[in-house]
Amino acid sequence: MSFSVHPDDILQDVDRCLAEDVGSGDLTSQIIPKSKQARATVITREHATICGQAWFNAVFARLDEEVKIEWCCEEGQHVKAGETLCTLEGPARALLSGERTALNFLQTLSNTATLASLYAMEVEGSRS
């Protein structure tokens, strides 16, 4: 069974969380020169079912459209601990400003998906 979330709902979620986490600006990232480019890698520490890529992507799109994200896995895919989930490249300020918000979405939604997957496996083949 699959579901879909309207893109406007995702953007509203992202905007609300960025307003809370970053507010009117990330003072810490302001010490980084505006022209500084960076690269980051997201690696999972545990086995997981990946969920939340749309929210993760939207965080960085809201901060700076120059951020490029390359996913190494698909939404709903089961991954093992230590696997690279994605790499990001772009303005360092945007990567630093969005890191916490984006990872919070990915961790929370992947945790929910992982637990749901485990429960589904437990009842697989049982009679309703």
pLDDT tens digits along 19-41: 998 877 666 778 899 999 999 99
| Token pair in block for residue 116 | 């749901």
Of 19, 93, 3, 103, nearest in space to 53 by CA: 103
Surface-to-core class of residue 124, CB atoms within 10 Å of its CB (0-12 exposed, 13-18 middle, 19+ buried) = exposed
Contacts of 127 (CB under 8 A, 6+ apart): none
Sketch the domain layout of the chain as residue ranges. 7-121
Torsion region of 94: left, alpha or beta (phi above 0 gives left; psi -120 to 50 gives alpha): alpha
pLDDT category of residue 59 using cuts at 50, 70 and 90: very high
pLDDT tens digits along 81-97: 999 999 999 999 999 99
The class that CATH gives domain 7-121 is alpha beta
φ, ψ at 35 (rounded to 5°): -85, -10
Record the pTM. 0.89
**Mean pLDDT computed over every residue of the chain:** 92
